[in-house]
Structures are given as C-alpha cells and as structure tokens.
Amino acid sequence: MDITSLQNPHVKHIVRLRDDKRQRREADLMLVEGYDEIQLALSAGHKPQTLLSAPELVSRQILPGEEWDGVSTERITVNRAVFEKMSYRENPDGWLAVFPIPHTALDQLELSAVPLLIVAESIEKPGN
C-alpha cells in the first residue's frame, strides 16, 4: 500500500501513537523507529503489526535472509513528508514499525543458573 496524504487514517493513527501514551496503552501498541531497532525487535521474536518505509529516506534495504525478510505483516510505503510527520527522530532513516506491546510476567522469565538482574523503580525519563 502506498500513502501520500498527510490526512490518511493510518498516518493519523501512528501520529496519535507517537504523541499519546494513553493511546499506546489503550491500543496495546508501540512504535519502533530505525532499521537497527526494528532488526533487534525481530531478532528477539517480536512480530510487527505494520512495517512502514519511505524509499526517499531509506539508506538500507531489507536483504534476503534477514530477520524481517519473511515477516508477513502489513507493509506500507510512504513519501518523505508523510514519514517525517510520523517520525520522532530528527534524521529518520526511513523505517518505522508498529509492534504489539510485549507483556511478560516475572514467572515467565527464563533465567540462567546465575542470573544478573537489574531492578529499576520509578523511572522518570525512560528515554534517557
């Protein structure tokens, strides 16, 4: 699917997810921006709901055999203006994905015999 309009419902939905924590929580979705970041999420076993790319900005193509080469998901191509509206980076690389938020209970964690655990409480600025 190709999107060129800033008024497209997909674009508006992604902008709301980007800007509104409550919207992300209610939709149970998160945005992952950047080729390497998406690759990390895929290699950890997460499956995207939507994969967006802007050919005008893309510096790296999906290569055969990469984690996301065989991912069956909605793929959307957008122009530069649309991508820049959805992006939260100053210099986007043209890749953005919408993933379900993973939920893992403590009793589901697979720990080694001698695990190293870090507990972070009351994080004020999780992006830092």
Expressed as residue numbers, the domain containing 39 is 2-102
User: Residue 34 domain-assigned?
Assistant: yes
Instruction: Report how far Cα 20 is from the mean position of its chain's Cα atoms.
Output: 15
* pLDDT of res. 63: 52
User: Residue 43 domain-assigned?
Assistant: yes
* pLDDT of res. 44: 87
* pLDDT of res. 64: 47
Count how many domains the chain has: 1
For residue 12, what is the domain's CATH number?
3.30.1330.30
As a whole number of angstroms, the distance between CA 86 and CA 83 comes to 5
Amino acid identity, position 99: F
User: Residue 119 domain-assigned?
Assistant: no
User: Residue 57 domain-assigned?
Assistant: yes
Q: Which residue has the tokens 């991508």?
A: 83
> What's the pTM value of the predicted model, to 2 decimals?
0.79
User: Residue 123 domain-assigned?
Assistant: no
* pLDDT of res. 66: 56
As a whole number of angstroms, the distance between CA 111 and CA 125 comes to 27
User: Residue 115 domain-assigned?
Assistant: no
pLDDT bracket for residue 127 (50, 70, 90): low
Per-residue model confidence as pLDDT tens digits over 7-26: 999 999 999 999 999 999 99
